[in-house]
Amino acid sequence: MSVVTYIGLGSNLGDSRKTLTEAVAKLAALGRVKTSKLYQSPPMGPQDQPHYLNAVARLETDLAALDLLDELQKIEQEAGRVRLRHWGERTLDLDILLYGQEQIEHQRLTVPHIGLLERDFVIMPLLDLDKNIQIQAQCLKDLALAQDSTLLVVADEFWSAVD
């Protein structure tokens, strides 16, 4: 049975747009994918790193949550992901933001993703995919962060050419 999941994508090293496009193509092998617009955002952690490109992919998949996490980490590794420092620069970051309606507390995975409601670079792409999306009984479009976002849209929802 398919589950609708939302995957956060981010990159700020190398050819980020190409890396994200390739990641979306690999996600398409796991199920049906639709992408949000592509955004540019300042780094959340150390400020001595490049701005990020961020998006969210809606993925319908038959994979269990931890199996999906394994596949995402494999895609990150194939993109040359290296974890240099906490909230530091990266070639590719893939996060399970939502997995159906499930709430998951596992040593490897927390869903909904921690901090999701405080990050406009996650909220705005989620709203691209579902304008009425609610998380923990909170309608995202009503959040102050959604009203006051300063993210820069760098490409529309067709940037990845996968659907």
Residue whose C-alpha is closest to residue 54's, from 135, 163, 145, 151: 151
Catalytic residue (one of 58, 95, 119, 120): 95
104 membership: H or E segment, kind and range: strand 104-106
Catalytic residue (one of 90, 119, 120, 128): 90
Structure token pair of residue 127: 């709203």
Query: Between the CA of residue 107 and those of 60, 66, 67, 110, 119, what are the distances in Å?
Result: 24, 11, 14, 8, 22
Catalytic residue (one of 17, 32, 81, 130): 81
90 is catalytic: yes
Structure token pair of residue 140: 């995202």
119 is catalytic: no
108 is catalytic: no
85 is catalytic: no
Catalytic residue (one of 93, 119, 120, 128): 93
CA–CA separation, 155 and 147 (whole Å): 20
Structure token pair of residue 90: 């990266």
Q: Catalytic positions, please?
A: 81, 90, 93, 95
